[in-house]
Structure 1
Amino acid sequence: MHYTSLDQLIAEKKSSFAIGPIAIVLVEDDVEVDTTLRHHIQLGFAHVLALMPAQFELPRDLQETVQRIDYDCSREGATENAVNAIIAAAPGQWIFYCYNAEYLFFPFCETRAITEMLAFHTEERRDSMLTYIIDLYADDLDTYPQAVSLERAHLDRSGYYALARPDATNDAHPKERQLDFYGGLRWRFEEHVPPARRKIDRIAIFRATSGLKLREDHTFSNEEYNTYACPWHHNITATICSFRTAKALKTNPGSRYEIDTFSWHNSAPFEWHSRQLLDLGLMEPGQWF
């Protein structure tokens, strides 16, 4: 299913968005596009939307299972504009968004579908879910100069921290139940990362409501959506395991030749399993057992 614009998709498929959840994959380059799409199909999303440049090709099986939309993800505001358009077209529906070479993991995702998790989260009276962006990187940059290898993927097993999120309207108190999270490659190589892009938190799973808007910093216009938990107990959190930062650091001229390796004493092979992420404390099941 191929659409030449987001407007065409919405005009022709809006009624089908009554069944969800919806995954939006923003394709910035041609790295691991097919594995990203297949991963999220396997998680159980009812719709997987691939917003990607018209010149990119998809394997035949994905052409039949993914809704492809011609889209330029490099232009300013591309992410917010796309996500906000789907929000307006799918009120009440759960939506997830990520980029290519990013892979969603949630507690017990090997045996439970995304629909099961979202059903429980809905019963918890939550309309959004905090996700942590956990950087993946190849351990050998000579063999993998783009820093991307599924077989040799590594992550940082420690070095993550959180700071209170300031409230611009109240200097005396930070925002309630909101934190800014840091760690991974953006922390270790922060001299190459603009301050506004150093956070690793993203509200990547949320339920569309009338008037809701995604902002440039991956937060929402409704402040309750930006909270990590409800007031009475901890909630489920999820993880997006991502090669995106590693790719950028090895692509940008300012950092490409400054980094010989991403490996350090706290690197560990990524096992591609939610149990490892739970054991490392990189996500939690909340009350969901």
Structure 2
Amino acid sequence: MIFPSLRDFLTNGRGLLAKGPIALILLEDQIEVDSSLRHAIKAGFHRVVAVGAPRIAVDADLADHVVRVHHDMQADNALEDIVNGVIAAAPGQWIHYAYNAEYLFFPFCETRTVGEMVAFSTEERRYSLLTFVVDLYADDLDAHPTAVSLSDAYLDKSGYYALARKDKDDTLLERQLDFFGGLRWRHEEHVPPPRRRIDRVALFRAQPGLQLRGDHTFSDPEYNTYACPWHNSLTASLCSFRTAKALRRNPGSAPHIKTFKWHNSAPFHWRSQQLLDLGLMEPGQWF
């Protein structure tokens, strides 16, 4: 099913959002569009919605499994307009948002579905899931000029850290941290400070009045916390080529980067256990 605009989808497609969990895959370019959509389908999302320009193609065999919504991802506030529009249209549903060439991994995702995970989180009265954006990059940039290769993907196995998050009055925020690492840390001279964080609440339960902000935080402070008050909470990883793509595409950074590999690079095995072992997500009380 194809909707010619975001407004048309939010007006006439609400019935498609009546059951979750829902995945919003935001298409910025043609790179790994189909693999991103297939990954979301395999994860167990009840509804997968691909939002992007009409020129971005989606494999014909995905037509019965994906809802297409035409929208300019380069428009101002595109992220907020899409996510907040779906929040308003699908109250009570769990929603995941990611870009193409990003892949959600959660503990035991090889044997459990995302629906099982959000059911557990709901039972714990936890309505948001903190995810860490783990940068992926190709080993050989000559062979893969866009820095994207599923079969030759690497990640950083160390170099991650967190700082206390403060509000505008310099007051510490309870159970909130700013997380850093990966390519945005190693090549921070090419990344504006507001875009250096790697934390993103990429899976959450919609509720009336909830708003996503441009810095990937929510209007409800509890949604931005890394754990509930009484114990550690489940977290996940969003394995992403997006930063590597941008650094290779940006004329200010591309000439200065011959490789993304360093002594702490490791092949990515596309398995949740590797991310658990590296401390890039944790199961909390979910066993």
TM normalised by structure 1 equals 0.98
Match of 2:173 in 1: 175
Deviation of residue 168 (structure 1)? Answer: 1.7
State the distance in 1 between where 2:56 and 2:28 align: 10
In structure 2, what is the Cα distance between the partners aligned to 1:71 and 1:6? 6
Q: Helix, strand or coil for the counterpart of 1:97?
A: strand
Aligned with residue 225 of structure 1, among 223, 226, 246: 223
SS of the residue corresponding to residue 178 of structure 1 reads strand
Output aligned runs, 1:84-233, within 5 Å.
84-169=84-169, 171=170, 173-233=171-231
The alpha-carbon deviation at position 16 of structure 1 amounts to 3.3
Is the partner of 2:238 in helix, strand or coil?
strand
RMSD of aligned alpha carbons: 0.8
* Paired amino acid for 2:64: E
Do 2:24 and 2:98's aligned partners in 1 also have CA atoms closer than 8 Å?
yes
Number of residue pairs the alignment of both structures matches: 287
The separation in 1 between residues aligned to 2:254 and 2:102, in whole angstroms, is 21
Aligned partner of 2:234 among 233, 236, 261? 236
1:278 alignment partner in structure 2: 276
Q: Deviations over 1:124-151 (max 9, x none)?
A: 1011110000000001111111100000
Corresponding residue SS for 2:266:
strand
Give CA deviations for 1:208-251 in whole Å, capped at 9, x if unaligned.
11111000000000111000010000000000000000000000
CA contact (8 A) 2:27 2:56 kept: no
User: Which residue of structure 1 aligns with residue 265 of structure 2?
Assistant: 267
For structure 2, the 5+ residue unaligned runs are none
Decide whether the 8 Å contact of 2:16 with 2:47 is kept in 1. no
1:12 Cα deviation after fit: 2.6
**In 2, distance between residues paired with 1:237 and 1:189?**
26
Q: Secondary structure at the match of 2:270?
A: coil
SS at match of 2:173: coil
Question: Which amino acid letter does the alignment assign opposite residue 207 of structure 2?
Answer: T
Q: Equivalent residue of 2:216, what SS? A: coil
Deviation at 1:57, TM superposition (A): 1.6
Q: What is the aligned partner in structure 2 of residue 38 from structure 1?
A: 38
Looking at structure 1, the residues matched to 59 and 122 of structure 2 have their Cα atoms a distance apart, in angstroms, of 35
- SS of the residue 2:15 aligns to: helix
Distance 2:227 2:48 in 1: 27
Which amino acid in 1 is paired with 2:87? I
Q: Please tell me the residue identity of whatever aligns with 2:146.
A: Q
TM-score normalized with structure 2 length: 0.99
Q: Distance in 1 between matches of 2:187 and 2:215?
A: 20
CA distance in 2, matches of 1:17, 1:138: 36
Q: CA deviation at 1:55?
A: 1.2
What residue identity is the alignment partner of 1:18? Answer: A
| Superposition deviation, residue 59 in structure 1 | 1.1
Q: How far 1:15 sits from its partner (Å)?
A: 2.5
Match for residue 79 of structure 1?
A: 79
Secondary structure at 2:111 match in 1: coil
C-alpha displacement of 1:17: 1.8
- State the percentage of identical aligned residues: 63
Amino acid at match of 2:199: D
- Distance in 2, matches of 1:214 and 1:11, equals 20
The alignment partner of 1:177 has SS state of strand
